[in-house]
Amino acid sequence: MRYFLLFDQNVFGFNKLRQMHRFFLKINAGINLIKHSIPGYTLRQILFVSVILTAHHTVCMAAQPVSALRPEIKRFVIHMSNQHSYDADALEEAFARTNFRPEILKLISAPATAISWDEYRKRFVNTQRIKGGLDFWNKYAAELGLARKIYGVPEEIIVAIIGVETSYGTSTGNYRIMDALTTLAFDFPRRADYFREELESYLLLAREQQFGLLDVKGSYAGAIGIPQFMPSSYRRYAVDFDHDGEINLPGSAADAIGSVGNYLKEYGWEAGKPVAVRAQARSENLQEFLDTGIEPLHPVGKLRGAGIIPLDSVSDDTLSSLLELKIQEKRQLWLGFRNFYVITRYNRSTFYAMSVFELAKAVRAARLSYTTER
């Protein structure tokens, strides 16, 4: 059991309190408290303090003096004060009210389950997401059209990313961002540096956007709002697309639309260019191309020469990657182009990018059918 994880456990006489708490647990196990009582304390006192400690097992203790903060958090506060002129007192108070969430460590450390492409695809390319995408497009057609004109990103791609990320804003996460990032920054050693940088970005974002540090909720990894931007991406790529004077990714679909468009453009989206096409192989010598990953490094002409033929028209000088997706016992081959690679900058997964691409195609088809019927 871990008590007051954000605080130094050797101050305020907590050892005595923890000792008392252990006896309370023994009561629950049916052990006679009298045999193990602590001299100088009554049974009522022991039970009272133990109940308080038990209640705080899952919720961090309320604000305590600065000296009680864990050393690494104190150093972080000093860094924010020195580097960014951050109000140290306000930050110390916020950390005193921040909760360690052990379940986040379990979620982020859980090994990825190996599933086939068709199983993964069903999660995101299905009737519910397609209908939701059509409804979202119909509602925000003007904003999506404007984003396409400004950033060159088709409406269906923006719709699909928002659909995959949060089911069009209906599932944005229930973890306080301050809790999530603090837990990961100081108790997840494997990626602690990354999450400390994101925590730093979040603190700066809160000051810039003038929202309370403890007021914003999102994913267990610290992603925020309708498009699930990490704080550093929020600061770098988010835009005030509805021109109301604030950038509000949790509450403004327009800002989310513009921000996704801007994000993809900044990562090199090529307007009017393809994302991916199916291919077939007349040779089994594919591994050298598969091994180079998802970055488009191979001219299509070189792949043709190796017996890998795109099933749609593509110029020979177009750079591409060879992608293999397995469906049950069969495989699909695809050529991924620059725009496919840009989608993977949002989430570095071939399955993710292909889900976005296929959901986008399905939503566009539904939209064309809808407008034709009208």
At 318, list the tokens. Answer: 């177009």
Is 165 an active-site residue? Answer: yes
Closest C-alpha to 257, from 223, 222, 225, 217: 225
Mean pLDDT of 262-284: 96
Instruction: Give the tens place of pLDDT for each residue, 297-312.
Output: 999 999 999 999 999 9
Residue 112 confidence (pLDDT): 65
**Residue scoring higher pLDDT (77 or 63):** 77
The position carrying tokens 């939503």 is 363
**Residue scoring higher pLDDT (283 or 86):** 86
Residue 372 confidence (pLDDT): 85
Instruction: Give the tens place of pLDDT for each residue, 155-198.
Output: 999 999 999 999 999 999 999 999 999 999 999 999 999 999 99
Domain of residue 9 covers 1-61
68 belongs to a structural domain: no
Mean pLDDT of 260-284: 96
Q: How many angstroms separate the CA atoms of 121 and 356, rounded?
A: 10
Mean pLDDT of 17-24: 44
Q: How many DSSP H helices and E strands does the chain contain?
A: 17, 7
Residue 30 confidence (pLDDT): 44
Residue 160 confidence (pLDDT): 98
β pairing state of 330-336 and 319-327: antiparallel
Looking at the predicted structure, is the pLDDT value of residue 329 above 80? Answer: no
Q: Which of 92, 143, 156, 165 is flagged as catalytic?
A: 165
210 belongs to a structural domain: no
> CB–CB of 242/232 below 8 Å?
no
Mean pLDDT of the chain: 86
Looking at the predicted structure, is the pLDDT value of residue 246 above 50? Answer: yes
Q: How many angstroms separate the CA atoms of 236 and 265, rounded?
A: 13
109 φ, ψ (degrees, to nearest 5)? -95, -5
42 belongs to a structural domain: yes
41 belongs to a structural domain: yes
Specify the pTM. Answer: 0.82
What sign results for the dihedral spanned by CA atoms 341, 342, 347, 348?
A: positive
Residue 351 confidence (pLDDT): 95
Residue 154 confidence (pLDDT): 98
Instruction: Give the tens place of pLDDT for each residue, 61-74.
Output: 333 333 468 999 99
Look at residue 363 and give its three-state secondary structure.
Answer: helix
Residue 40 confidence (pLDDT): 54
34 belongs to a structural domain: yes
48 belongs to a structural domain: yes
Residue 68 confidence (pLDDT): 65
- The pLDDT confidence band at residue 27, using thresholds 50, 70 and 90, is very low
Mean pLDDT of 47-67: 42
355 belongs to a structural domain: no
Residue 42 confidence (pLDDT): 53
Instruction: Give the tens place of pLDDT for each residue, 331-346.
Output: 899 999 999 999 999 9
Domain count, the chain: 1
Mean pLDDT of 256-267: 98
Residue 115 confidence (pLDDT): 83
Paired residues of 319 in beta bridges? 299
With a CB cutoff of 8 Å and minimum separation 6, the contacts of 72 are 186
3 belongs to a structural domain: yes
